[in-house]
């Protein structure tokens, strides 16, 4: 299958690497020193599932060089999705599917606003992933911690042949993969988890094992989870009655040292997905009339650091 990976950081680098290793025709769209290292030496991946190195079919910073593909995996940070959407049309053929794998729930609508054409079926699917991976140095990805997982599917939940082909490609690469009956519910399940652990982790600078074991921080974690569940239900997303308990149980199952990417970005002074995670819960809560005091506290507490990282504040 001809697959373009737009964004080859920890997420895109890992999934692009394993798909290329499995024999898929993978095109990596990247930039800067990371791109140059991949072009010269291939992509190196260190993983708890085995280390390897691959040479992609093409590594470029220009989607037009790639031409139409069968699937585009959008693996950039949440705030970058609107920026890169306009660069995707050269990758699209009549049946191409576009799968955002980042955090948050806004990406499908942001992509559809740019890519959808009147009278034509949407290219854009819903999607999510679970993985702990990052760039060690240019051309070098490290995967550690939880087993990688991807899920995706049409937003109308109607079967499409290209979706099944992509599922088979991931399965053939040894990646745990699912096409849920309700992709919106699956995306919100991930969003409920990630916005809570990212926000509380970033405020406290503590890993999952600490957050869940101290009663005071566990209460904040639970409150954040329940607020996002309430926002999801007000948005007409169908979730199990015990959704909050399920998410908390998943957090309890994580390795003690787990820290979400947003938390690491904030702790290291980089721009983060704060607006797309805790900020989005607050925004949607205001629009829907759902109180979100825990997320509002988290968002307000971290906003000065976010603005400093983006050069919008000095202190």
CATH number, residue 48: 3.40.50.720
What is the rounded CA–CA span in Å between residue 127 and residue 99? 6
160 lies in the same domain as 27: yes
Distance CA 141, CA 247 (A): 28
In the predicted model, what is the mean pLDDT of residues 62-73?
95
Q: Residue 91: its pLDDT value, please?
A: 97
With beta carbons less than 8 A apart as the criterion, state whether 107 and 81 touch. Answer: yes
Stated length of the chain: 315
The predicted structure's pLDDT at residue 118: 87
Q: What is the pLDDT of residue 172?
A: 98
pLDDT range class, residue 132, cuts 50, 70, 90: confident
Q: What is the pLDDT of residues 230-258, one digit of tens each?
A: 999 999 999 999 999 999 999 999 989 99
Please give the mean pLDDT across all residues of the chain: 96
User: Phi, psi (5° rounding) for residue 40?
Assistant: -85, -40
Helices 183-204 and 243-253 cross at an angle (nearest 10°) of 50
208: exposed, middle or buried (Cβ count in 10 Å: 0-12, 13-18, 19+): buried
- Whether 7 and 91 map to the same domain: the answer is yes
Q: Last residue of some domain: 158, 181, 204?
A: 181
Give the pLDDT confidence of 184-209 residue by residue, as tens digits.
999 999 999 999 999 999 999 999 99
pLDDT surpassing 80 at residue 145: no
Full DSSP string of 91-142:
GEEEEEEEEE-SSSS-HHHHHHHHH--TTS---BEEEEEE--EEEEETTEEE
* pLDDT > 90? residue 107: yes
Residue 315 belongs to a domain: no
CA 177 to CA 149: how far, in whole Å?
Answer: 6
Domain that holds residue 283: 185-309
In a shared domain, residues 29 and 11: yes
Q: Is the pLDDT of residue 1 over 90?
A: yes
Same-domain check for residues 51 and 164: yes
What is the average pLDDT across 268-283? 97
Instruction: Note the pLDDT of residue 314.
Output: 83
pLDDT at 71 > cutoff 80:
yes
> Facing residues of 142 across strands?
46, 134
For range 114-119, the mean pLDDT:
91
Q: What is the pLDDT of residues 168-181, one digit of tens each?
A: 999 999 999 999 99
Assign 104 a pLDDT band (cuts: 50, 70, 90): very high
Residue 296 has pLDDT above 90, yes or no: yes
- Longest alpha-carbon distance in the chain: 54
Q: How high is the pLDDT of residue 146?
A: 82
Does one domain contain both 220 and 139?
A: no
pLDDT at 313 over 90: no
Residue 74 is classified by DSSP as: E
The predicted-structure confidence for 41-58, as pLDDT tens digits, reads as follows 999 999 988 999 999 999
Residue 23 lies in a domain: yes
Query: What burial class does residue 243 get, using C-beta atoms within 10 Å of its C-beta: 0-12 exposed, 13-18 middle, 19+ buried?
Result: buried
126 and 190 part of one domain: no
Q: Last residue of some domain: 159, 181, 203? A: 181
């Amino acid at each position: 299958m001809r697959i373009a990976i737009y964004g080859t950081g920890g997420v895109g680098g890992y999934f692009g690497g394993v798909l290329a290793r499995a024999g898929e025709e993978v095109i990596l769209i990247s930039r800067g020193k990371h791109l140059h290292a991949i072009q010269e030496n291939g992509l190196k991946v260190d993983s708890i599932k085995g280390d390897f190195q691959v040479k992609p079919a093409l590594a470029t910073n220009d989607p037009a060089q790639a031409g139409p593909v069968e699937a585009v995996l959008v693996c950039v940070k949440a705030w970058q999705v609107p920026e890169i959407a306009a660069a995707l049309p050269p990758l699209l053929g009549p049946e191409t599917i576009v799968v955002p794998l980042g955090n948050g729930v806004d990406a499908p609508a942001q992509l559809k606003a740019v890519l959808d054409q009147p009278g034509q079926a949407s290219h854009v699917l819903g999607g999510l992933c679970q993985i702990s991976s990052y760039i060690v140095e240019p051309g070098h990805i490290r995967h550690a911690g939880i087993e990688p997982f991807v899920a995706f599917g049409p937003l109308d939940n109607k079967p499409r042949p290209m979706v099944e082909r992509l599922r088979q490609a991931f399965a053939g690469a040894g990646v745990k993969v699912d096409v849920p009956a309700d992709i919106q519910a699956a995306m919100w399940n991930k969003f409920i988890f990630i916005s809570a652990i990212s926000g509380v982790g970033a405020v406290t600078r503590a890993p999952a094992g600490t957050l869940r074991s101290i009663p005071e921080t566990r209460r904040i974690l639970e409150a954040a989870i329940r607020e996002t569940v309430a926002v999801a239900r007000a948005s007409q997303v169908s979730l199990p009655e015990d959704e909050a308990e399920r998410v908390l149980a998943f957090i309890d199952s994580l390795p003690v040292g787990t820290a979400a990417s947003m938390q690491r970005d904030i702790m290291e002074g980089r721009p983060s997905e704060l607006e797309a995670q805790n900020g989005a819960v607050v925004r949607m809560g205001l629009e829907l009339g759902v109180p979100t005091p825990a997320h509002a506290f988290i968002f307000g507490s971290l906003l000065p650091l976010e603005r400093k990282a983006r050069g919008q504040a000095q202190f």
